[in-house]
Amino acid sequence: MKKKSYLDIYKYFKEKIIVGNLKPGEKLPSLRQISMKNELNATTVLKAYDLLEQEGYIFKILGKGSFVNKNRDFSINLDNKLILERASINKNQEENLIDFSKDEINFIKLINLDLKDIIIKILNLNNNIFEEENLKGSKNLREIIADYLENLDIFISSEEIAVSNSSQQSLNTILKLFFKKKGNITVVVSDPTKYKALNLFKERADVKGVHLLKDGWDFKNFENILKIKKIDFVYESFNYQNPSGIVWSDEKKEKLISLAEKYDFYIIEEDNDSNFYYFKKNPKPLKSFDRVGRERVFYIKDLAKCIHKQIKISYMIIPPMFREHLDLEILNLETTPENLTQKILEYLIKNFFYEENFTKIRNTIKIKYEYMIDRLKKIDDIKLMHNPGGGRSLWIKLNKNIDEKEFYYLCKKNGVSFLPGGLFYLDKRVDSKFRLSFVGLEIKEIGEGLNIIETILKNIKK
């Protein structure tokens, strides 16, 4: 066996510290212990310890030894590790993994188009595509978006629209507008809510959570917050909320806007799902209830989630009074997408955003949805939290007598991945919930994945 180098020793302890096997304040083995056990020079071990100290993992007390540092700002917490782990799953392109965490709808594939063909067509049609430069997106694109939005009962001018690279970038840009006004802001979200939005808010804002009922917020709970504290804005997906799947009633949507006027706060609506209803009529975006001249609603749409994950573009609608500030933030943050990406979106909205296509897509996804619901209902130990009739995910709960962490890791070990509910809660609480997205998988994969889950649940100790 190859003799261990100081880097091996270094990596061994670094990993133990990061994953938490060695806790803050805990003493590391002495140089003598390690060098004897590994048949190494004490200087080799010393070198490893020096490096660990330099990088802030440990500190030394003369005559006492080395200890794990308490201020481990270099290590991220376990929930975040989980998220990163998931993100790196895609990286490795694990062929066998059935990934219920993917929630992008591939509009292009679902209506039998090919992204490569589209790009080549656009390049051949547009001569000046690499010359133009538009901070908020090309005038053309913004007008086409404004026209399209009329289908959703949203009537705005193209000047109120700005595009960016991603919905998180749109959110970040809007956030900056509020932070600029005052340093300390208060944000209210559903508890649970989209974890990336939560992560962004929690960094700098005081975040309050409101309990979700079947038709939207528990307004008693919300008004209690409003009475105690001036809030700056509310963030929510009102139709097929992420992760719960809940659709707000029209009454509650209107009520929220009234409260926004009364208590002087704004609302950020992220709406990626209004189009993806499988039974009833389409639920209306909150923005369609907004009052002209007294606008309270910012509206964000993430096209990477609705068209293709590699078309990284998002648009937002902003109330007129924020317009000038917004332009400045876009300039400073440099979030304008490339012209080519803008042209792709323009081309798709103009030529393919028609009811027939959406109906076709809804019918395809509906089959997956119904299959999921059917299968999940038959699995003991799993409770379906809601039956949303739309959207991209189902929100489920395990029986209390099952160790949810063990379940999660067993599934992963057996090739099935999804998102643990804790990620979506303000306090990251572990309450046996999980989000299973079905829109990114084929029926066959869904079946196999649920088979594996079922088998694991049968054999897990309870």
- Range 319-348, binding a copy of itself (CB under 8 A): 320-322, 324-325, 327-328, 331-341
Q: Interface with a copy of itself by CB under 8 A: which range of 144-152, 197-205, 247-255, 404-412? A: 197-205
Cβ 246 vs Cβ 389: under 8 Å? no
Q: Which stretch binds a copy of itself (CB under 8 A): 26-34, 161-169, 243-251, 362-370?
A: 161-169
The piece of 143-151, 177-185, 241-249, 279-287 that touches a copy of itself (CB under 8 A) is 177-185
CB of 341 to a copy of itself, least distance (A): 7
Q: Is residue 311 within the footprint of a copy of itself (CB under 8 A)? A: yes
DSSP codes, 117-181: HHHHHHHHH-TTTTT---TT--HHHHHHHHHHHGGGT----GGGEEEES-HHHHHHHHHHHHHHH
Q: Do 145 and 315 form a contact (C-beta atoms < 8 A)? A: yes
Contact 163, 314 (CB under 8 A): yes
Rounded Cα distance between 331 and 34, Å, is 55
Rounded least distance, CB 156 to a copy of itself, Å = 16
CB of 353 to a copy of itself, least distance (A): 20
Binders of a copy of itself among 199-238, rule CB under 8 A? 199-200, 203-204
| Beta carbon of residue 385, minimum distance to a copy of itself (angstroms, whole number) | 26
Q: In what order do the strands lie in the sheet with 393-398?
A: 382-384, 393-398, 433-437, 419-420
Beta bridge partners of 270: 300
Which H or E run includes 16?
A: helix 6-19
Q: 334 or 406, CB closer to a copy of itself?
A: 334
Which one-letter DSSP state was computed for residue 191? Answer: S
If one asks whether residue 140 binds a copy of itself (CB under 8 A), the answer comes out as no
- Total interface residues for a copy of itself by CB under 8 A: 71
Among 115, 152, 373, 426, binds a copy of itself (CB under 8 A): 115
What are the phi and psi torsion angles at 72 (to 5°)? -85, 65
Q: Which residues within the stretch 17-36 sit at the binding site for a copy of itself (CB under 8 A)?
A: 18
Cβ proximity to a copy of itself: between 5 and 455 the closer is 5
> Between residues 231 and 456, which has the closer beta carbon with respect to a copy of itself?
231
Tokens linked to 430: 């572990």
Work out whether 93 is an interface residue with a copy of itself (CB under 8 A). Answer: yes
